[in-house]
Amino acid sequence: MFRNIKASALLLVGISLSLFGQTPRAVYLDDTRPMNERVEDALSRMTVQEKVAVCHAQSKFSSTGVPRLGIPELWTMDGPHGIRPEVFWDEWSQAGWTNDSCIAFPALTCLAASWDKEMALLYGKSIGEEARYRNKNVLLGPGVNIYRSPLNGRNFEYMGEDPFLASKMVVPYIKGVQQNGVAACVKHFALNNQETDRFGVNVTVDDRALYEIYLPAFKAAVQEGEVWTIMGSYNLYKNQHCCHNQYLLNDILRGEWGFKGAVISDWGGVSNTREAIFNGLDIEFGTWTDGLKTGTSNAYDNYYLAKPYLQLIQKGEVGTKELDDKVRRILRLAFLTSMDRNKPFGSFGTEEHALAGRKIAEEGIVLLKNKNNVLPIDLSKTKRIVVIGENALKKMTVGGGSSSLKVKYELSPLDGIKKRAGAQTEIVYARGYVGDATGSYNGVVTGQDLSEKRSADELLAEACTLAKTADYVIFIGGLNKSENQDSEGADRLSLSLPYHQDKVIEELAKLNKNLVVVNISGNAVAMPWVNKVPAIVQGWFLGTEAGTALAEVLVGDVNPSGKLPFSFPVKLEDNAAHALGEFPGKDHQVTYNEGIFVGYRWHDKQNIKPLFSFGHGLSYTTFEYGKVSADKKETSAADKVTFTVDVKNTGKREGSEVVQLYISDLKSSLPRPLKELKGFEKVSLKAGETKTVSFTIDSSALSFFDADKHAWVAEPGDFEAIVAASSTDIKSKVGFKLK
């Protein structure tokens, strides 16, 4: 009865709506309806032409929507360290907008060095808000390609050498971005571990290394982060470009991991229509980088997934099953982003975001060495500090490729130190060497004039004269964002510091015992002078608030707590990829001969002492570890085991320690790394305070990938849980058995 009344009422509403010229809202527009119903409804209303149209770009960074149905365009933007300034519709050059100066966050290596999942969430949330405010639907980042060689020009955009660390850090970043109704786009899937020959190199890697080292962070992004988009990479795997790769995209991403999102090509990464149709790509971007100038009337119509696709369908050579699958994924992406009516509005260039960037920088800066407690600098006892080095003033948010930014402001290390020192301490600056004097990239101009007429000898002489007169000398050098440094498109040429910086540092070390070297980079560098310099700080590319964060650490306002997300080898040959001879490969082929033995896994295996270990980082206080214990001696595949350890701050000031858990399989049928990171916790401790840190693992932390069985296997037997302050600073171990 009641039902009938309800039905008649609905009918009446329907009749009156149509009488007044309104029709009930289409299912796809109704966000109270389940996602799949909305997707199927929209799909059923689209013509084949409209479907093909959404599968490729319409400008450098956007793809078309369905104008007839009111489905908006999709706007993407780099990523991953801030929101890139607007470029012209068809060109890479600046569009000259005056409202697009962003906050630059620290590079992802710094985020990874914080070993702090809350920082990853804060990062994602903040950059997501910036993207949202700028009306971007897809943020092109973060990158999680594994740090295979210190020469990779793009390592600074990634999260280090360990798959577990990268997995744990990428998930909160994604969640933070996507809570803004902006899709994260995890890149570059997969095996994009070098820039040399990036469009042409075919990677050969065994399945075990693929699954254990190179894929886990992507898998975590998909399954735990529920990322909405993924970007294919330029390189080839099994002789197929990764942007349309049967094995990576169809078999693994969609088949094994159940990815529901959309695969976006890297810009210009598509080269074959049939492969793009059948091998798991959804949206093609960046083909023919000069847009309209190439091709006929409209280059975008001639993209591999544009007219050529439509023609194959019209000729009946390919069906529309794949097309419908692509469009479903793209529609879902639209409903989650551009068509989400409930998404927040975002915010841009705010003080809050600058503070977030500063906090992440403070947590990520790594104190590598601090002999005789040279640091922190006590300003009350310091009359004169001489700052030397180009990176003390060079703006680092501009350059480096697609992550280059136009910022609202960037406080240099020198200005940060000056600001913090105030009037009480005199700060004097000398250049010391000339590196890269250019002050513009892709049309973004820093406004700095770094030109220098003096010779290298004159610059060194000036630095040396000043160094003698100072209470402290702070050398701020490292790499920069120009070609063959930390930059997209080319790799570094050697592990050494460029521009004769080693010589400058050696000379300074002779003249002043209070020498602090700050290395600004996203990569490991050789330090032949390591024993002659008392204090070394790894400063990363820190973004807008670089100077504030560095100064805070140097003077001790902030107690450093970052730890290295990758190993610093003494020399290049100590890195597995170089020891075994295949970086960057030749004749378009590179083989990852080292297999699973990447980073510290290789150092452990070969008993190589690194310059600075994975997970290493000092503090201005000291920590004492208790003995680790396990809640059981035996566990089973279905069970969990918890390890507990007490950590005490034994120094005089508050500080944070990253407590690391490594697991070692004592006997296995296949060779395994000596130990692998399977847990970490950053704990903050007041002076004298003790906290208990615990890690719970299940059998996935004990497993290896058995390529023959194509499965993860945890072999019964003896294991060890190792609690450590770095991969080489082991505090205690406890044995346990897997039944």
Q: What is the DSSP letter of 172?
A: H
Report CA Rg, the chain. 27
Per-position x/- string for 238-277, each x denoting binding to ligand BGC as judged by CB under 6 A, each - no binding: ----------------------------xx----------
Distance CA 678, CA 505 (A): 38
Q: Taking CA 551 as the corner, what is the angle to CA 467 and CA 517, rounded to the nearest 5 degrees?
A: 45
**Residue 303 or 623 with smaller CB distance to ligand BGC:** 303
Number of residues that bind ligand BGC (CB under 6 A): 7
- Closest distance to ligand BGC from the beta carbon of 317 (Å): 31
- Closest distance to ligand BGC from the beta carbon of 235 (Å): 11
**Residue 78 or 665 with smaller CB distance to ligand BGC:** 78
Per-position x/- string for 550-589, each x denoting binding to ligand BGC as judged by CB under 6 A, each - no binding: ----------------------------------------
Burial of 24: CB neighbours in 10 Å, binned 0-12, 13-18, 19+:
exposed
Tokens of 725: 């302050």
3-state secondary structure of 386: strand
- Given CA atoms 678, 169, 549, 471 in this order, what sign does their dihedral have? positive
- Closest distance to ligand BGC from the beta carbon of 79 (Å): 6
Q: Applying CB under 6 A, does 190 fall inside the site for ligand BGC?
A: no
**Residue 187 or 326 with smaller CB distance to ligand BGC:** 187
Is 378 tagged catalytic?
A: no
- Closest distance to ligand BGC from the beta carbon of 78 (Å): 5
**Residue 62 or 544 with smaller CB distance to ligand BGC:** 62
**Residue 140 or 555 with smaller CB distance to ligand BGC:** 140
3-state secondary structure of 34: coil
**Residue 214 or 623 with smaller CB distance to ligand BGC:** 214
- Asked if 165 and 112 count as a contact pair (C-beta separation under 8 A), the reply is yes
Cβ partners under 8 Å of residue 4, min gap 6: none
Distance CA 701, CA 689 (A): 30
- Closest distance to ligand BGC from the beta carbon of 141 (Å): 7
Q: Applying CB under 6 A, does 187 fall inside the site for ligand BGC?
A: yes
Burial of 513: CB neighbours in 10 Å, binned 0-12, 13-18, 19+:
middle
- Closest distance to ligand BGC from the beta carbon of 131 (Å): 13
Estimate to the nearest angstrom the gap between the alpha carbon of 677 and the chain centroid.
Answer: 19
- In terms of DSSP H, where are the helices of 337-388? 351-364
Q: Applying CB under 6 A, does 78 fall inside the site for ligand BGC?
A: yes
Per-position x/- string for 286-325, each x denoting binding to ligand BGC as judged by CB under 6 A, each - no binding: ----------------------------------------
Q: Applying CB under 6 A, does 402 fall inside the site for ligand BGC?
A: yes
Q: Applying CB under 6 A, does 486 fall inside the site for ligand BGC?
A: no
From the list 68, 27, 24, the residue with the least C-alpha distance to 47 is 68
Longest Cα–Cα distance of the chain, Å, equals 98
- Closest distance to ligand BGC from the beta carbon of 346 (Å): 20
3-state secondary structure of 35: helix
**Residue 234 or 719 with smaller CB distance to ligand BGC:** 234
From the list 653, 563, 687, the residue with the least C-alpha distance to 614 is 563
- Residue 491 CB-half CA count within 13 A: 19
**Residue 264 or 466 with smaller CB distance to ligand BGC:** 264
Distance CA 528, CA 108 (A): 27
- Closest distance to ligand BGC from the beta carbon of 229 (Å): 11
Distance CA 330, CA 131 (A): 19
Among candidate residues 100, 116, 162, 266, the one labeled active-site is 266
What residue ranges bind ligand BGC (CB under 6 A)? 78-79, 140, 187, 266-267, 402
Catalytic residue positions, numbered: 266
